[in-house]
Amino acid sequence: MKFKHACFASCIFSLLCMAAAPADDRKGVQASIKPNIVFILADDMSFDSVSANNPKIGNMKTPHIDKLISQGMNFTDAHSGSSVCTPTRYGLLTGRYCWRTKLKKEVLWSWGAPLIKKERLTVAELLHQNGYTTGMVGKWHLGMDWRDQDGNIVNDILEITDAHFKSKEAAKRVEAVEKSIDFTQPITGGPTDHGFDYYWGVDVPNFPPYLWIKNNRLQGVPTIPKPKDMFGSPGPMLPGWKLEEILPTLSKKSCEWITQQSKTKKPFFLYVPLTSPHTPIATSEKFRGKSGISNYADFVIETDAVVGNIMTALKQSEAAKNTLVIFSTDNGTASAANFKELEKHGVDLHNHFKGHKAQIHEGGHRVPFIVHWPGKTPAGSRCDEVVGLNDFMATVADLLDAKIPANNAEDSTSILPLITGEKKFLPNRPCVINHDYRGKFAIRKGPWKLVEGGKLYNLKSDPKETTDVATNHPERVAELKKTLKTYQQQ
């Protein structure tokens, strides 16, 4: 009994000391609480697609993303690792450039095998190891293992970039895989095998199978072929599948998961790789005609609304004050946006940069990158340092004071000092490398951008890459060529 009384007295004394402690000391106690992390990744949406970044956006406004900028930090020189989908997603989750894998160009196509190796650490696994509950809602596009009725993997016969439209041989391999799949078998190599406790989404909205995936199971059996007049590659579909319901469902599932996790004591990480405004441009009925411009513009507005819904869910669940939210995109705008039609309605998505998705020009990989972290990131601030989506993993490790094992996250640099406003620039920032659809490289150091083949641009004075200055700066060209070669060989 004496021991119990002593413990009780000790607890009371500790509580009184905390109550009497200076405010700054109590802040230190709160600072030790791990923040929730939400990373929203839109699909095919450039820096100029955010209205706060682009005064020439007309009626294609993005008020919810703009609000994040006004309340957080806007990075003006952020880059996806590639100008297309799969490679960027690989880099974001692993902190490693995708061209270090066997995927040297293009993307994974229908029924692609897993690109992330089992032994490769992901940011979800890192967070899971540090006490986080991890969830993902949205587009995977990093490959999965598909199995036959005996449980054997059937898609390991595919070449890395096989697609039905590539050649007769590729088409035969794809068809053989599709015919062999038993859709009642569990899927492996997907999100739940790479650190995510929960997954709801689609592999790719325009690839089969056309139905939902929850964790490692299809939500039904796709028994009919996708109609020819429905956008996407041919393949099996669940009867009643509607493209227009994908984005609203992703929004709903994200908000539900946030609400559920906010009731627990564990910190959470939610990765939300949206399917929009990538094709299929499938605007839901609620947003059709909103812009008065085009279906594509409506889809961008709906994408922005999903960001607003997620922020509302955080606020209503009282998790917002302790949540680090990042909004970015996987690459620039796709030509499916119909730039000429948008320009007729006063929307210029090339206001700042040249090029679009799949290209090595800035418009292919210069992306919005916005950080909202109440009490940590200065509201209404801006950072002009060169950063990349690969930096997410090292930043998370820095935030948690966690060590990344050797030979992991090789191409990731912590930008935490930038996010907190401690620094404006990183003195020893490694070069940022970009990759296009065909496998061409570009390397960036300070204002200088060298494109493989020898073209050199000063992006500070020439952001639209109008003038090749390689002949004026041969020493700079030589330096960057050598650096790129070193990065490739290491």
In the numeric block, which tokens belong to residue 304? 């922005």
pTM of the predicted model as reported, rounded to 2 decimal places? 0.93
Q: What is the pLDDT of residue 32?
A: 54
| Low-confidence residues of the chain: pLDDT under 70 | 1-32
76 vs 46, 298, 363, CA distance in Å? 12, 25, 13
Cα 95 to Cα 81: distance, rounded to the nearest angstrom: 10
Asked if residues 236 and 210 have their Cβ atoms less than 8 Å apart, the reply is yes
Q: Cα dihedral angle (49, 44, 467, 385), rounded to 10 degrees?
A: 70
Cα 44 to Cα 279: distance, rounded to the nearest angstrom: 9
Asked if residues 151 and 185 have their Cβ atoms less than 8 Å apart, the reply is yes
CB atoms within 10 A of CB 426: 16
At 274, is the secondary structure helix, strand, or coil? coil
Task: List, for residues 222-247, the tens digit of each pLDDT value.
Answer: 999 999 999 999 999 999 999 999 99
Q: What is the pLDDT of residue 490?
A: 85
At 198, is the secondary structure helix, strand, or coil? strand
At 133, is the secondary structure helix, strand, or coil? strand
Instruction: Spell out the domains of the chain, with CATH numbers in brackets.
Output: 32-430 (3.40.720.10), 440-490 (3.30.1120.10)
127 vs 192, 196, 268, CA distance in Å? 14, 10, 9
